[in-house]
Structure 1
Amino acid sequence: MNGVKPKGIVVFSGGSAANNLVDVFKTVRENKKGSLSYVIPISDNGGSSSELIRVFGGPGIGDVRSRLVRLIPDDPDHDDSEKAAIKAFFNHRLPKDKAEAKQEWIQIVEADHPLWTNISNAKKELIRSFLNFINFEILKRLRPSSTFNFSSASIGNLFLTGARLFSGSFESAIYLLSSICSVPSHTLVLPAINTNFTHHISAGLSNGTQIAGQNSISHPSIITALEGQSPPSEHEETEMHDRIEDANLPGSLPTLRKQYITFSKSDEEDLPAKIERIWYINPYGQEIRPPANPRVVEALKECQTVIYSIGSLYTSIIPSIILKGVGEVLSSPSIRHKILILNSTNDRETGPSSSPFSALDFIASIAKAGAESRGFMGEVRKGEFRAYVTHLIHLQGLGTPRVDKEELAELGIETIRVYGRRVDGENYLRYDEKALVQALEVTMGRKGPGVERSRRNTLEG
């Protein structure tokens, strides 16, 4: 041994989509014998997180919680019923019906619920103490104008919020949940911003439209009004929200103060135009430039490989890249491999369907975000794309984004096509895990410099 510390891997991702690849990244990390860091955005203001943000403020924690719980190790040689119980507990959501949800929450807090089965007394009482704490904080904030809605609430999100409020530290809350979930020390879940405050994002479209709030960017906004009445004006809506006693600042944007507990992830309407830019805003809609979590910058400085995982480009990946301090390190040649795992399909953010994003569009967006992190605005020259993306791994088939290999090769970006598989009921391809592991390892040099990119067991037939 030469005493050189193995370089780590940093994965930029959101929540649910990249959770499907956790075992892939775990295998690659084990073979490289280094560290693995997940960088997760905290700007999500949809789902049950929206109610926690409305009442308590603070970051959007849903994606952080889901990754920590997904990282609970599986031991095929042992029947570890407690780990399975903890995973089920922190992933559990209360019923959609408001009254039923509150009743089930009381059962959980009072330890009178089947979810506690197979969780040891020591861990049960530790977990329950933070659930009791958040329950007490909810009761303290109860007002005639504002009551907490437990509908579809995530128990893991409630626990993580309780731990953050109790300790006064988001980082400490993550450490506590990591410990309970037995997440290995070589694997870190790092929020893009280490904060006790809410950070929202805004999108600028090519037609000049601006959309405030991640949920409004990712999912169609539904305007509701009584029959025969017009929806309230922004001024009327602001005044209406100002009469509600919650964690939001008076006069702040109504779209950032609404409850987005229920929405559809499947019924997506096209945006009126393509997204051109993402930026952070304060509660009044003004642009701000927050710095990245120092631990994220540190992880990037110590890594050899960066992976941009599958997921929503503009709400899962870009919000972490545009933060101050990230682009400078990302563009450094000290990071040898900068790998984009291309989505198998375009979504609302990378449409519209009449003009879907190509692989080059994905890469251009990442490069532009990296440049903006460094303070450079405007378009980035194609010749500079390779500073942020050196390799592209992709699928090929009906509905997959177009990949122009010749053009990418001229830019110095290597492409690797891997096997895909279809799951019954889904209209898109999924990555084959074994093929993706091999593609990543070949790219990162595990097989040596002489490996060809057209290995039969890597490429789609």
Structure 2
Amino acid sequence: MSGEAFLSLTSASTMNTNTKRKGIVVFSGGSAANNLVDVFSTVREDKRCPLSYVIPISDNGGSSSELIRVFGGPGIGDVRSRLVRLIPDDPDHDDSEKAAIKVFFNHRLPKDRSKAREEWLQIVEADHALWANISTAKKELIRSFLNMINSEILKRMRPSSTFDFTGASIGNLFLTGARLFSGSFESAIYLLSSICSVPSHTSVLPAINTNFTHHITVGLANGEHITGQNSISHPSVATPLENPAPSQTEETEFHDGIEDANLPGTLPTLRKQYITFSKADEEDLPARIERLWYINPYGQEIRLAANPRVTACLGEAQAVIYSIGSLYTSIVPSLILKGIGQAISNPSIRYKILILNSTTDRETGPSTSPFSAVDFIAAIAKACNESRGVSGSATPSLGPSDFRSYVTHLIHLQGPGTPNVDKSEMEKLGIETIKVYGRKMEGESFVRYDEKALIQALKVLIGERDPRMERSRRNTLEG
């Protein structure tokens, strides 16, 4: 089918879409997908429908790792990041308070430990420039939860364990304070959403609504297991793949001597501080990732149910979008949850769109055998099948119907380092492909999605086509 014929057919079928299903659900992680927030917001505005972001809570790196070590609870960094990114910009009004709140909740303390502690006290005592342009009412509301978390930190101080403020995110500290005060992660998200003026038509939903910590493990093709999101995605300087570690017993005994939120006997790799790590220059995994699952603190596999609000949104959605980001630590942890695969496979969701990454990373390598588009889709299908209790550990067990149950359309770029897209293979699977033109930023070796081109592609798929688009389509999009 030609690009023109496909686009015309898609546009015509869009007019017959079941009006009862209007929502758009986006599965994503944090930083990468934040770059596409304006794209999704524009499509939502065009459709005048609800937009929901589903965010995993398994991150155990950065400042989240220290909050988890001392207080337990879910990894909140990606949720906080998305809420702050959704603070609306109004070009027609100079809203200095919204800009100040965005800076405030995105602020990180210095990397020097003593300077970080000193700056934290300045913020708690309202003696810091970050408070400028934030109204008294909001300032005192925010301070109340920062003072609360500060008090909890002091109460948990022990000779063997003190809180490390190095590089801590003020937004993460606030969200943790709100969760501890209310006893509800959902309530803490609601409070931060309100302060950030996130529009009511857009929601940020944790994949699991929980007050507990949930970790992930991956199995590699060579039989190895890697535990904890940070170790999977971007390990610290000392990596278990290269350096021999102390015996399990020695490490466990060492960590059992530290008073923190972890239960005695918990896996040592789940109890370490991962405040410092690098997302650049990551070494390849020794083999491809084949499967991901959740574990309890002792390393045993567990099956968890999805946040009921997520499955409810999927029940009202006309479109599901798998956004760019880390495949196995940003997307798959949400898909393997009970209830997700069944909800996505519903034929009433007409559009199940994968926005393919513009490059491969540590999770979709190794560099000698990078993932193709089919590999990305297979990983999604396996995860959704596992959500339904169907083993998806081997690709041959998945047929074309399995793939199309979870992915109906693929949007991709073409350029240096982009994953290979075999159109004939996609046609055999019944998956439509749309290539959009990207742009290359100065100093970067990869191609980025162009916002206008991506908006146009998504509108063609799930929105009403603007007649003016037909004349300019070839400039940005190729069917």
The structure 1 residue matched to 2:185, chosen from 167, 170, 176, is 170
Q: Does 1:122 align with 2:137?
A: yes
Identify the residue that residue 278 of structure 2 maps to in structure 1: 264
Identify the residue that residue 477 of structure 2 maps to in structure 1: 459
The structure 2 residue matched to 1:186, chosen from 189, 201, 211, is 201
Equivalent positions of 1:15-414 (< 5 A) are: 15-223=30-238, 231-378=245-392, 379=394, 380-414=398-432
Asked if structure 1 preserves the Cα contact closer than 8 Å seen for 2:62 and 2:275, the reply is: yes
Superposition deviation, residue 74 in structure 1: 0.2
Q: Secondary structure at the match of 1:280?
A: strand
Distance in 1 between residues matched to 2:239 and 2:460, nearest whole Å: 52
Distance in 2 between residues matched to 1:211 and 1:123, nearest whole Å: 43
- In structure 2, the CA distance between the partners of 1:453 and 1:61, relative to structure 1 (3 Å rule), is farther
Q: CA RMSD in A?
A: 2.0
- In structure 2, the CA distance between the partners of 1:79 and 1:393, relative to structure 1 (3 Å rule), is same
Superposition deviation, residue 424 in structure 1: 1.1
- In structure 2, the CA distance between the partners of 1:253 and 1:269, relative to structure 1 (3 Å rule), is same
Q: Which amino acid aligns with 2:295?
A: I
Asked if structure 1 preserves the Cα contact closer than 8 Å seen for 2:21 and 2:316, the reply is: no
Superposition deviation, residue 411 in structure 1: 1.1
Q: Which amino acid aligns with 2:63?
A: S
Q: Secondary structure at the match of 2:54?
A: strand
Unaligned runs of 5+ residues in structure 1 are none
- The one-character-per-residue Cα deviations of 1:229-286 (angstroms, maximum 9, x if unpaired) are 9742121010000000000010010000000000000120000000000000000000
Q: Secondary structure at the match of 1:455?
A: helix
Asked if structure 2 preserves the Cα contact closer than 8 Å seen for 1:6 and 1:32, the reply is: no
Q: Does 1:430 align with 2:414?
A: no
Q: Secondary structure at the match of 2:473?
A: coil
Q: Which amino acid aligns with 1:99?
A: S
Superposition deviation, residue 352 in structure 1: 0.2
Distance in 2 between residues matched to 1:339 and 1:460, nearest whole Å: 16
Asked if structure 1 preserves the Cα contact closer than 8 Å seen for 2:434 and 2:478, the reply is: no
Identify the residue that residue 416 of structure 1 maps to in structure 2: 434
Distance in 1 between residues matched to 2:472 and 2:291, nearest whole Å: 36
Q: Which amino acid aligns with 1:427?
A: S
Asked if structure 1 preserves the Cα contact closer than 8 Å seen for 2:72 and 2:261, the reply is: yes
Superposition deviation, residue 43 in structure 1: 0.1
Distance in 1 between residues matched to 2:383 and 2:470, nearest whole Å: 32
Distance in 1 between residues matched to 2:425 and 2:470, nearest whole Å: 20
Distance in 2 between residues matched to 1:318 and 1:421, nearest whole Å: 27
Asked if structure 1 preserves the Cα contact closer than 8 Å seen for 2:124 and 2:147, the reply is: yes
Asked if structure 1 preserves the Cα contact closer than 8 Å seen for 2:175 and 2:189, the reply is: yes
Superposition deviation, residue 458 in structure 1: 3.2
Unaligned runs of 5+ residues in structure 2 are 1-17
Asked if structure 2 preserves the Cα contact closer than 8 Å seen for 1:420 and 1:460, the reply is: no
Q: Which amino acid aligns with 1:329?
A: A
- In structure 2, the CA distance between the partners of 1:276 and 1:230, relative to structure 1 (3 Å rule), is closer
Superposition deviation, residue 305 in structure 1: 0.3
- In structure 2, the CA distance between the partners of 1:342 and 1:132, relative to structure 1 (3 Å rule), is same
Q: Secondary structure at the match of 1:314?
A: helix
Superposition deviation, residue 4 in structure 1: 5.0
Distance in 2 between residues matched to 1:355 and 1:281, nearest whole Å: 28
- The one-character-per-residue Cα deviations of 1:402-445 (angstroms, maximum 9, x if unpaired) are 00011101211000000100111111111000000000011114
Distance in 1 between residues matched to 2:300 and 2:239, nearest whole Å: 26
Distance in 2 between residues matched to 1:460 and 1:110, nearest whole Å: 56
Identify the residue that residue 15 of structure 2 maps to in structure 1: none
Q: Which amino acid aligns with 1:420?
A: G
Asked if structure 1 preserves the Cα contact closer than 8 Å seen for 2:56 and 2:333, the reply is: yes
Q: Secondary structure at the match of 1:264?
A: coil
Distance in 2 between residues matched to 1:320 and 1:93, nearest whole Å: 27
Asked if structure 1 preserves the Cα contact closer than 8 Å seen for 2:400 and 2:430, the reply is: no
- In structure 2, the CA distance between the partners of 1:456 and 1:153, relative to structure 1 (3 Å rule), is same
Distance in 2 between residues matched to 1:90 and 1:254, nearest whole Å: 31
- The one-character-per-residue Cα deviations of 1:298-349 (angstroms, maximum 9, x if unpaired) are 0000000000000000000000000000000111101000000000000000
Distance in 2 between residues matched to 1:423 and 1:162, nearest whole Å: 39
Distance in 1 between residues matched to 2:350 and 2:471, nearest whole Å: 17
Distance in 2 between residues matched to 1:145 and 1:297, nearest whole Å: 42
- In structure 2, the CA distance between the partners of 1:5 and 1:119, relative to structure 1 (3 Å rule), is farther
Name which of structure 1's ranges 5-14 and 155-164 shifts more when overlaid on structure 2: 5-14
Distance in 2 between residues matched to 1:189 and 1:232, nearest whole Å: 40
Percentage of pairs with the same residue: 79
Distance in 1 between residues matched to 2:24 and 2:476, nearest whole Å: 21
Q: Secondary structure at the match of 1:456?
A: helix
Q: TM-score, normalised by structure 2?
A: 0.92
Superposition deviation, residue 455 in structure 1: 3.1
